[in-house]
Amino acid sequence: MQTKKQSLVESITNTAVGFGISLAATFLIFPIVGVESTGTKNVLITIFFTAVSITRSYLLRRYFNNANIEKEICECCNKKKDLNIMHIDSDGNWFCEGCLKE
């Protein structure tokens, strides 16, 4: 499982590779479809869509990362916690690490 920081780094790295390709594509595609633009506009458009791409990629990664984690409700604090930090007693009750330390 990735940490949030690892998810962000992966998203930025993935999108950075695409940045150069996208920028080059604006210089190629815009004239073909009749869009008049300048180099500065092309860079600004590419930066905008790059930011959108980073945000989308990060949020989707976090969603799917969290969707695959099983959770249980702690009998003590009634909060839903990841199973990897939960402990079960002999009666089958779940307790989080924080409640066990109290």
Pairing of strands 86-88, 94-96: antiparallel
pLDDT at res. 15: 81
Q: What is the pLDDT along the chain (102 residues), one digit of tens a residue?
A: 678 888 888 878 888 899 999 999 999 999 999 999 999 999 999 999 988 988 888 888 788 777 666 666 666 676 666 665 667 777 777 776 777 655
Give the model's pLDDT for residue 100.
65
Handedness of CA 83, 86, 89, 95 (dihedral sign): negative
pTM for this entry: 0.56
Answer for the pair 61, 71: CB distance below 8 angstroms, yes or no: no
Contacts of 84 (CB under 8 A, 6+ apart): 69
Cβ proximity of 93 and 75 under 8 Å: yes
Distances (CA, A) of 95 to 30, 78, 100: 59, 9, 7
Exposed / middle / buried, residue 101 (Cβ in 10 Å: 0-12, 13-18, 19+)? exposed
Number of Cβ within 10 Å of residue 60's Cβ equals 12
